[in-house]
Structure 1
Amino acid sequence: MLDQQALEATIGIGGTVIGDVLKLSAPRADLRVTVDGFEIIPFMGLTSWAAFRKGPRQTTLMGDIVLLEDEVGAAVSAAIEAGLYVTALHNHFLRDQPSVMFMHIEATADEATLGRGVRRILEAISAVRHAHPVAPALKEVASDLDNKRLEDVVGATGELKDGVFKFTLGRPDVPVICSRCGGLEINSAMGYNTWAAFQGTRERAAVCGDFAMLELEVAPVIRELRAGGIEVVAVHNHMFFEEPRVVFLHYWGVGKAADLAAVFRRALDTQKYAQTGGRCC
């Protein structure tokens, strides 16, 4: 069983237990980021997190760290020096002001080593920002969305926070294990999920998010998003040693909220089609 109190004390932030996963989140409330006139507040996709799960032998860590460009070097060095894998470094947005990057981390070791590693990364980021402060994020954004209609279109339950309405969808239909972690299953709480976050009004909303896809699902998801006018902004891995291989895709769209939700739903549906043997391309 994970020692939640010790990990929280080491890292310096509180966590939430989701099943047998301890997830610690650090919203980047110190950064004000905009895209196409929309405020990207933490719940819209600017929250660093680290998730811990006890495996057959040791504990596995997976996480995603939000970085401004001037924080990247210090954060990458801190992760590597702490013995963590940097498994991805990429964007989530286009035209974001200032430009934001996302660094994924992974490791399997004892809890104390993993906790110290995450702490070193956060301290490295804090040192950069202390030397060069920037404008903080807004606490919330104005919202005039029909959340019930969005739920009906997507076919799932969303969560409203700070003016942002978000769907987080796991993929229990496709189990993924970490071959280097003693066969530990990687679940939604550890970052293996698809999500969509909406803000704005019914007539002019923004959506951003991430698709978790098998390789044969990538082309049809991209095709459906582009057909619906949603931008594909990044395609990449998040993890190492996963079986089967999982590809992640980030997207951004602006339009009528219900229309954006319908495109998201159609892209989800293409994944089901690909799994039944439908041709992707």
Structure 2
Amino acid sequence: MKKVADMLDAKRIESITGLKGQTTGDVLKLSVPRKEVRVTLDGFEIIPFMGLTSWVAFRQGPHHVTLMGDIVVLEDEIEPAMAAAIKAELYVTALHNHFVREQPRAMFMHIEGTADETALAKGAHGIFDAIKTARQKHPVDAAAANVNSKLDAQLLEKVIEHKGESKDGVLKFVLGRPTTPLVCTRCGDLNIDAAMGYNTWAAFQGTDERAAVCGDVAMLENEVNAVIRELQTGKIEVVAVHNHMFFESPRAVFLHYWGIGDAQQLARTFKSALNTQKASAV
């Protein structure tokens, strides 16, 4: 049992950031859907629940609090967001794409830090405020509130063997990797779980006959080639392979993908890629 002094002060973090968080276990996650930005790709709307939501997660470690996050930035938001992160002494652990051909261009800035929770919360607030200021100077079209999807959710859940969450016309699956623990060595070997960003996910929209899927696969190094092979065999594009964090053990590699086609076939390809991870030798 953790002492009260060793637990996060969620109300203080929420007050500093101006955001309402969601608690999963001992992780506090704050999300910022990019509702003010409309992003389209191959005729599909990439709404916030489809993969256009910024987030930061806080977890109490042995000595300090650790923050990890993924921040959605348009091209003109990159410099001010990164400057705010560096000013707050947060690590910018990655800046990369999650999609290809999207309009306008959306990039993703991953951040990480271990410090006093007040300092971390102020840092997160500074990043979000910098993005807000940049966007107010040059407004763009707002995202659609939802997408019109007609998917057989139960059938896709049966294929993937996991329960999905339906929201705003998108069916989303989020899978952790509890059998392959990940720790942050700089954070006192703090466990990095699904709520902190160590997860695989898939988001579907459209119809059973023509759906779009996008997502992220969390992999160990020896799993990368097999996952790529399965996705390409199933005609799903691999659009990025990269890191999301620093100081993790074992090494975690993340792969982003995009596919259009029969919904069940897309789900089967995704599931096949996951199965290759189980078969890969450590």
2: CA distance between counterparts of 1:228 and 1:74? 39
2: CA distance between counterparts of 1:256 and 1:146? 12
Q: Which residue of 2 aligns with 1:218?
A: 224
Q: Could you list the structure 1 runs, at least 4 aligned residues long, displaced by more than 2 angstroms after superposition.
A: none
Q: Which residue of 1 aligns with 2:163?
A: 157
The reply to whether residue 58 of structure 1 matches residue 64 of structure 2 is yes
The reply to whether residue 178 of structure 1 matches residue 191 of structure 2 is no
Q: Which residue of 2 aligns with 1:104?
A: 110
1: CA distance between counterparts of 2:273 and 2:50? 20
Instruction: From 73, 84, 87, give the equivalent of 2:79.
Output: 73
Secondary structure at the counterpart of residue 144 of structure 1 = coil
Q: Tell me how far 1:35 sits from its aligned partner.
A: 0.4
Q: Which residue of 2 aligns with 1:20?
A: 26
* One-letter amino acid of the counterpart of residue 210, structure 2: R
Q: Tell me how far 1:29 sits from its aligned partner.
A: 0.3
Q: Tell me how far 1:61 sits from its aligned partner.
A: 0.2
Calculate the TM-score normalised by the size of structure 1: 0.98
The reply to whether residue 48 of structure 1 matches residue 45 of structure 2 is no
Over the matched positions of the two proteins, sequence identity in percent amounts to 64
1: CA distance between counterparts of 2:58 and 2:184? 13
Query: Which structure 2 residue ranges, 5 or more long, are not aligned?
Result: 1-6
2: CA distance between counterparts of 1:139 and 1:131? 23
Q: Which residue of 2 aligns with 1:83?
A: 89
Secondary structure at the counterpart of residue 157 of structure 1 = coil
Question: Deviation string for 1:23-76 (max 9, x for gaps)?
Answer: 000000000000000000000000000000000000000000001011001101
Q: Tell me how far 1:11 sits from its aligned partner.
A: 0.6
2: CA distance between counterparts of 1:163 and 1:199? 7
Q: Which residue of 1 aligns with 2:272?
A: 266
Number of matched pairs: 276
Instruction: From 138, 141, 145, give the equivalent of 1:135.
Output: 141
Q: Which residue of 1 aligns with 2:12?
A: 6
2: CA distance between counterparts of 1:90 and 1:33? 16
2: CA distance between counterparts of 1:49 and 1:194? 16
Q: Which residue of 2 aligns with 1:148?
A: 154
Q: Tell me how far 1:123 sits from its aligned partner.
A: 0.7
Secondary structure at the counterpart of residue 280 of structure 2 = helix
* One-letter amino acid of the counterpart of residue 134, structure 1: V
Question: Deviation string for 1:150-175 (max 9, x for gaps)?
Answer: 00000100000000000000000100
* One-letter amino acid of the counterpart of residue 277, structure 2: Q
Secondary structure at the counterpart of residue 2 of structure 1 = coil
Calculate the TM-score normalised by the size of structure 2: 0.97
Q: Tell me how far 1:85 sits from its aligned partner.
A: 0.2
Q: Tell me how far 1:263 sits from its aligned partner.
A: 0.2
* One-letter amino acid of the counterpart of residue 227, structure 1: T
The reply to whether residue 191 of structure 1 matches residue 197 of structure 2 is yes
Question: Deviation string for 1:97-134 (max 9, x for gaps)?
Answer: 00000000000000000000000000100110110000
* One-letter amino acid of the counterpart of residue 11, structure 2: Q
Q: How does 1:188-267 map to 2 (within 5 A)?
A: 188-267=194-273
2: CA distance between counterparts of 1:130 and 1:225? 39
Q: Which residue of 2 aligns with 1:95?
A: 101
2: CA distance between counterparts of 1:142 and 1:3? 39
Secondary structure at the counterpart of residue 53 of structure 1 = strand
* One-letter amino acid of the counterpart of residue 36, structure 1: D
Instruction: From 14, 31, 36, give the equivalent of 1:30.
Output: 36
2: CA distance between counterparts of 1:97 and 1:13? 28
2: CA distance between counterparts of 1:137 and 1:25? 16
* One-letter amino acid of the counterpart of residue 151, structure 1: E
1: CA distance between counterparts of 2:134 and 2:185? 36
